[in-house]
Amino acid sequence: MSKLMFLGTGTSTGIPEIGCSCDTCRSTDPRDKRFRASALVQFGGEDILIDCGPDVRSQLLAADCQNLDRILLTHEHYDHTGGIDDMRPLFRDKPEVPVYAEPNVIKAIQLRLPYAFVEKPYPGVPHIVNHEIDVNKEIPLKDSRCVEPFRVMHGRLPIVGYKFGDLAYITDCKTLPEETIEKITEVKVLVINALRLYEHMAHLSLSEALDLIKVIQPERAYLTHFAHTFGKHTTLQGYCPAGVFPAYDGLVVDF
């Protein structure tokens, strides 16, 4: 059985948001404590991290993560890439920190972590090996299965979603190309972002996410990447129709 654990289900500022005293940020419900969006996937005989933001150290400690085989990045924004240097302990006994991303994302990482890419790095620097991905080519895994990347539009920025067999993971989406919809239609499990109730220029609102779910027709859908303005987890549950669930940090989904 393959599994996905939600390590983070919040937007770029997380929940609670610094300096905010709204009901969501003051909530004592642990489901309302949301790290930046990330997930840990067990699939194809591997432990795979999707996105590696600034909360990743706390996220992986909370998940008791003992191993990672590779890191898949959706795009270059800091809330999805800011924790790559914290991967050093997990790869201390391995020859490389394998990061899979599109060329523009790799360039952004090299600019953000220049000390990791010099000819003679100092001891302890993570040996990051970047693997360029193509959204039209599968990524082979250990047991002969593959991860299928696909195109997602984050406003005007092209980013990547990932399909792991019967599960598709999408974050920071505003629109999906027709070829992506065809690729992921009728997956058993869909993870998709829903930032808030009202429209945003680069993220799906709740109604937009629910409309896409109707088109894709998964057996189950999990919403993620919430802003604190959306409300408490119990409020989110009330907005969800049958078969759609608001995710929370630590939730594990089998697929």
Nearest 10 degrees: Cα torsion 133, 134, 135, 139: -50
- Taken as a whole, the chain contains a residue count of 255
Strands annotated E in the chain: 3-8, 38-43, 46-50, 70-72, 97-101, 128-132, 139-140, 146-154, 157-164, 167-169, 189-193, 220-224, 244-246, 252-254
pLDDT score of 150: 99
CATH of the domain at 143: 3.60.15.10
Count of Cβ atoms closer than 10 Å to residue 18 Cβ: 7
Assess if residue 255 is contained within a domain: no
pLDDT bracket for residue 110 (50, 70, 90): very high
Kindly state the percentage of the chain with pLDDT values over 90: 91
Cβ within 8 Å of residue 9, ≥6 positions away: 34, 35, 37, 224, 225, 226, 246, 247, 248, 249, 251
Contact 85, 205 (CB under 8 A): no
Contact 39, 193 (CB under 8 A): no
How confident is the model over 122-134, as a mean pLDDT?
A: 90
**Range in 84-88, 118-122, 177-181, 199-203 the model is least confident about:** 118-122
Assess if residue 21 is contained within a domain: yes
Task: Provide the 3-class DSSP secondary structure of residue 124.
Answer: coil
* pLDDT at 119 exceeding the cut of 90: no
pLDDT score of 86: 94
Assess if residue 59 is contained within a domain: yes
* pLDDT at 104 exceeding the cut of 90: yes
Contact 204, 172 (CB under 8 A): no
Assess if residue 170 is contained within a domain: yes
Contact 216, 191 (CB under 8 A): no
**Range in 126-130, 147-151, 172-176, 182-186 the model is least confident about:** 126-130
How confident is the model over 55-66, as a mean pLDDT?
A: 98
Pairing mode, strands 146-154 and 139-140? antiparallel
Kindly state the percentage of the chain with pLDDT values over 70: 100
pLDDT score of 123: 80
* pLDDT at 169 exceeding the cut of 90: yes
Assess if residue 29 is contained within a domain: yes
Tell which residue, 117, 142, 119, has the closest CA to residue 46: 142
How confident is the model over 85-90, as a mean pLDDT?
A: 92
Cβ within 8 Å of residue 137, ≥6 positions away: 149
Q: Which domain holds residue 41?
A: 3-246
Assess if residue 251 is contained within a domain: no
pLDDT digits (tens, 9 = 90+) for 209-236: 999 999 999 999 999 999 999 999 999 9
Assess if residue 37 is contained within a domain: yes
Count of Cβ atoms closer than 10 Å to residue 39 Cβ: 26
Assess if residue 190 is contained within a domain: yes
Task: Specify the number of domains making up the chain.
Answer: 1
